[in-house]
Structure 1
């Protein structure tokens, strides 16, 4: 196993940076950009807005990097197309380390301080536990980096979800232009990264690997992460997508009330 201390250090720094961004950076940005609407929120809603803004900052950094790597890293694409199981991609491991630190920090802050999230509590906990495990495995083992990169790339749609949640907290009506545009961006990005890429570039190729004997010669934590993550992400994202498809016409038109 290669030295992983620098990846774990990046994850630790990312985790330690989370409360700083949450306490200092997020409130500063909100006060600077939307002071009156932010000031009108009670303390509990302000804390929630801080968490969403912090998530927006992190996801706006890591997910575009992961998408760029997915589309333009030819060596990584080669490993996926040719079923190369072991390949060390420092770029993917550093990006995964950032996501690991962010997910860990968000989990701690949400449990100890915020006490609410944009999804159900059960979904939040399960999603974050699996994401932490999968990204930790990516940091430690140089195996299946092309598939591990998807855990970060799917967070691209979270950018628009965070904006949607902030607009809702600030009382921006669904019928407003900014909400309609953001809802459309959320739906299209979700369709691309969490449905199209998830099925055709992640789930189907990975499932074919699961049927080979060679796959089970790699490290056991990687096997466990691949099996659990592939099934979980497919199920939960298709479930969410089904809900979105039923709501999106009214949401984009602005005829649906805030929920």
Structure 2
């Protein structure tokens, strides 16, 4: 009875954090960004309505990624209970991080639905629903804390992607050194936190198969865990391909604009 009461309290707290997270990110989008962005860049007021929406959304996602990514690393380093038992370890800190994530995802889904004509991003919708589906088990049952938290490492690539969007929005030349450096940083960081970790992640997943902790999960969480991971990694591979193509086009454009010297010069 005591354990069940604690679980109920933990679930209640988690959903309170989800609600608070949603309200916080909605406040950033609706109030904070429109007020501070004109001071950050004079180009903001010159943007179209759709571009201003994307700008405000990028501000929000950057703040979110820095909060959740930092918390993620802290848990991976210092949460001994989760590291010792990746399936059933004390999930409280992970649940708070996941709750923040779910609040952001709800905000972003409503944002995409409200401004679908301007945004139109079906990949992102699939990504968000897959994450919420899997993280629902973390919030309600406290299972798989290590693996749930590990997936959040990927958020460290988000600020670089948003910076590139800001550069494009203010018409920074793609041949500039700053744009080139950020384009390279996107590819490198995205590869490290989303692609290079795939073998390590799945080796840890496979290591749990057949264990008592894995069997205790039941079919529902097992399916949600594996299916959502596969969907997310397919999306990550597709995005990685798009980033590589984008970086190649930037480098190619830079080389084409570089004047060549002949032997007579």
TM-score, scaled to structure 1: 0.86
Q: Does 1:49 align with 2:49?
A: no
What residue number does 1:79 align with? Answer: 85
Runs of 4+ in 1 over 6 A off after TM superposition: none
What residue number does 2:157 align with? Answer: 157
Deviations 1:181-205 (A, max 9, x none): 22222112111110122331x2221
In structure 1, runs of 5+ residues without a counterpart are none
User: Aligned to 2:28, which of 16, 21, 28?
Assistant: 21
Q: Does 1:122 align with 2:122?
A: yes
Contact 1:180 1:253 in 2 (8 A): no
What residue number does 1:94 align with? Answer: 96
CA distance in 2, matches of 1:222, 1:208: 17
CA distance in 1, matches of 2:194, 2:210: 23
Deviation at 1:210, TM superposition (A): 3.8
The aligned length equals 249
RMSD: 2.4
Deviation at 1:163, TM superposition (A): 1.5
Contact 1:99 1:135 in 2 (8 A): no
Deviation at 1:114, TM superposition (A): 5.8
What residue number does 1:238 align with? Answer: 237
Deviation at 1:98, TM superposition (A): 0.3
CA distance in 2, matches of 1:128, 1:112: 15
In structure 2, runs of 5+ residues without a counterpart are 257-265
Deviations 1:130-175 (A, max 9, x none): 1122222212222211100023221111121111112212212212
Matches within 5 A, 1:1-259: 2-3=7-8, 4-34=11-41, 36-80=42-86, 85-113=87-115, 115-117=117-119, 121-200=121-200, 202-210=201-209, 215-251=214-250, 255=254
When residues 212 and 76 of structure 1 are mapped into structure 2, their CA distance, relative to the original with a 3 A threshold, is closer
Deviation at 1:69, TM superposition (A): 2.1
Deviation at 1:24, TM superposition (A): 0.9
When residues 198 and 159 of structure 1 are mapped into structure 2, their CA distance, relative to the original with a 3 A threshold, is farther
- Report SS of the residue matched to 1:175: coil
